[in-house]
Amino acid sequence: MSRVEKPKRTIPRRLKGFRDIAAADVAARDAMIARIRQVYERYGFVPLETPALEYVDALGKFLPESDRPDAGIFAFKDEDEEWIALRYDLTAPLSRYVAMNPELPKPFRRYQIGPVYRLEKPGPGRFREFYQCDFDSVGTASMLADAECCMVMCDVMEALGVTARDFVVKINNRKVLNGVLAAMTPNAPLPPDVAMHVLRSIDKLDRVGLSGVADLLGPGRRDESGDFLKGVGLLRAQVDVVMSYLQTQADTRRGVCDALEKLVGSSVVGKEGTDELRQIDDALAAGGYDAARVSIDPTIVRGLAYYTGPVFEGVLTFDILDEDGATRQFGSVFGGGRYDDLVERFTGQKVPATGSSLGVDRLLAALKALGKVDHRAATAQVLVTRLDKNLTAQYQAIAAELRAAGINTELYVGTQGIGKQFKYASDSGKTVAVVVGEDELKAGQVSLKDLRLGDELSKDIGADRRKWLETQPAQITVPRGSVVEEVRRVLGRYHA
C-alpha cells in the first residue's frame, strides 16, 4: 500500500523591508492623519490621489546608460515592454498630474496621503514601504506659499500635541548657498561637480561637525572605519568662507538675513536668496510665527539636485535614547522646499512650485516617545457581554440601540464565560462592558462596568483628576431605558 504524501504547507513569510501593522498602530496612525488632514484643509489644500504605479520616465529615475531602472525603485516591464515602477515619493506623480491637466486653476494646492516605496537597504525603523503626507502649491512663485509651508508645519505639530519647546522649523535658501560658492571663487565659478561636492560636504555637518566639514572641503579626512575620504581640495581661505557661512547667527531672522547678505557679496543669485528669506520672514512675523518656532538656519541643505530656492525642515528637538543607549535628538520629521524645475521636464515651461512632506511613520514614533499616542486598538468603545445565551436577542437589541445612537459597540460573539469576556474587552481596548442577566432584565436594569478606571488611576494624571476618578464606581446599575445616556456619561470621563 503506497503512502499518501501530506500536502506541502506554505511557509508564512514576509518580504524583507516590509511589515505588518497591528490594530493599535493602524488606529494611532489614522487618528494622527485625521488631524493632519484637518490642518491641510484649514489652509485650503484639496485632496488628490495618484496611482501607486507610474512609468519610470515620469518618475525621473531611469538611467540612460543602463537597460534597467535605478536600483532605488521597484520596477518591472509591462505587457508593452515599458518600464513601470512603484512611486518612490508623491511629488513626481504630482508633477506628472499637473502637466497632464493644464486647465487646473493656479495655484493648484493639493495634499496627498499614501504609501511610497523605495528599494533601499532596510534597517531599524527603515522600511521599503512607508507613508507620506504631502502638501504643495503649484503655479506660484510667491514667497507667501513658502512661508505658509512653515506655518502648516507648526500648526500640524501643535494639532498633534507637540509643544513649541519640542519642535522647530528651520529655513534656508539654495540661492544663498550658491551665492556663497560664487563669493568663494569670484574670478571663476566652481565646476558643477565640484560645487555639488562642496554641498554634499556641508550636508554631512550633523555627522562630522564643523572640523570634519572643513577637512572634507580641504584635503580630506579619515572616517570612523579608518578609510580616508578624499576632500574637495579648496584653499584655506575658501574653506574659511564656508565655515563663516555655517556659523552665521543673529538674534533675529532679519539679522541672519543681513549677515548672509554680507557673505554672498555681489552675487546676484545670493542676493535673490537673502531677499526671498526676508519676504518669508515678513509673512511669518505677520502671521505670529516667531523665531522660536521658525528660524533661519544656514546649515540646512536638502535635495541637492532637486530644490531651487527656499528649503525647510521640521525638526523635533527632544532627546531620546538610541539603540546603543546614547542620548540624541529625534531629528527631522518634515522636509520640503521650492522646486521650480520639476514640471518643466514635462511641459518645457517653468511652473513654480513649493511644498513639504511629512514622514508619517517617523512622526508616529516620535509621538509615542512623547506619550501622545493612545495605544488602544479598539474601534468599538463598548462590549455587550453575553451572560446568558438565552438572552441573546435582548443583547442584540441593546447593541443595536447603542450603535443607532452613534456609539461604536461590539456584541460578544464568542463562546467563553463572563470572566474571559471581561478579559477580552480589556485586552482589546474597550472602555465599557454592558452586563445583563435574567434578574437585571426582570428588574428593567443594566449593569455597566468601567474597564478603563484602573488604567486611568495608574497614570500620572494630576491630583484633582485622580481624586475625581476615585469617586467613580467601577460598576453601576442603571435603568434599561437610560443605557445610552449612562454609557455616554461613562465614556465622557475620558474626554473631559
pTM equals 0.85
Angle between helical axes of 268-287 and 143-159 (0-180°, round to 10): 50
Task: Identify the three-state secondary structure at position 400.
Answer: helix
Average pLDDT over residues 139-168: 95
Residue 147, domain member (yes or no):
no
Q: What is the dihedral of CA 222, 228, 233, 234, to 10 degrees?
A: -20
Residue 331 cell numbers, joined: 531629528
- Pair (386, 356) in one structural domain: no
Indicate if the pLDDT at residue 327 is higher than 80: no
CA distances from residue 100 to 57, 92, 95, 103, 281 in whole angstroms, order as listed: 15, 13, 9, 9, 34
Contact 362, 344 (CB under 8 A): no
- Pair (366, 406) in one structural domain: no
Average pLDDT over residues 439-448: 92
Given this model, what pLDDT does residue 420 score?
A: 94
Select, from the ranges 72-76, 99-103, 318-322, 327-331, the one with the highest average predicted confidence (pLDDT).
99-103
Residue 324 cell numbers, joined: 546603543
Last residue of a domain, one of 330, 355, 377: 377
Indicate if the pLDDT at residue 264 is higher than 70: yes
Strands 53-55 and 382-384: unpaired
Distance of CA 169 to the CA centre of its chain: 14
Q: How confident is the model at residue 468 (pLDDT cuts 50, 70, 90)?
A: very low
- Pair (107, 189) in one structural domain: no
- Pair (489, 476) in one structural domain: yes
Given this model, what pLDDT does residue 125 score?
A: 73
Indicate if the pLDDT at residue 465 is higher than 50: no
Last residue of a domain, one of 325, 353, 377: 377
Share of the chain above pLDDT 90, in %: 64
Average pLDDT over residues 4-23: 89
- Across the chain, mean pLDDT equals 89
Q: Is 10 exposed, middle or buried (0-12, 13-18, 19+ CB in 10 A)?
A: exposed
Residue 335, domain member (yes or no):
no
How far, in Å, CA of 70 to CA of 65, rounded? 11
Give pLDDT tens digits for 81-129: 999 999 999 999 999 999 999 999 999 999 999 999 998 888 777 899 9
Last residue of a domain, one of 332, 362, 377: 377
- Pair (218, 86) in one structural domain: no
The H-or-E segment that residue 402 falls in is helix 392-404
- Parent domain of 31: 14-141+340-377
Residue 229, domain member (yes or no):
yes
Residue 399, domain member (yes or no):
yes
Cβ density class 100-126: b for 16+ within 10 Å, e for less = eeeeeeebbbbbbbbebbbbeeeeeee
Contact 336, 329 (CB under 8 A): no
Give me the number of domains the chain comprises: 3
Residue 325, domain member (yes or no):
no
- Pair (189, 304) in one structural domain: yes
Indicate if the pLDDT at residue 460 is higher than 60: no
The CATH number of whichever domain residue 353 belongs to comes to 3.30.930.10
Residue 267, domain member (yes or no):
yes
Give pLDDT tens digits for 365-408: 889 888 888 777 678 999 999 999 999 999 999 999 999 999 99
- Pair (191, 281) in one structural domain: yes
Closest by CA to 232, choosing from 244, 273, 241, is 241
Write the single-letter amino acid at 140: T
Contact 277, 260 (CB under 8 A): yes
Lowest mean pLDDT: which of 221-235, 262-276, 277-291? 221-235
Residue 228, domain member (yes or no):
yes
Closest by CA to 134, choosing from 151, 147, 106, 115, is 115
Given this model, what pLDDT does residue 94 score?
A: 96
Give pLDDT tens digits for 243-252: 999 999 999 9
Q: Which residues contact residue 92 at a Cβ distance below 8 angstroms, ignoring those fewer than 6 apart?
A: 54, 58, 59, 60, 342
Give pLDDT tens digits for 280-311: 999 999 999 999 999 999 999 877 678 999 99
Given this model, what pLDDT does residue 472 score?
A: 58
- Pair (272, 183) in one structural domain: yes
- Pair (187, 286) in one structural domain: yes
H helix runs in 87-173, sequence order: 91-100, 143-159
- Pair (441, 388) in one structural domain: yes
- Pair (362, 386) in one structural domain: no
- Pair (63, 81) in one structural domain: yes
Residue 474, domain member (yes or no):
yes
Q: Label residue 337 left, alpha or beta by phi (over 0 means left) and psi (-120 to 50 means alpha).
A: left
The CATH number of whichever domain residue 488 belongs to comes to 3.40.50.800
Indicate if the pLDDT at residue 457 is higher than 80: no
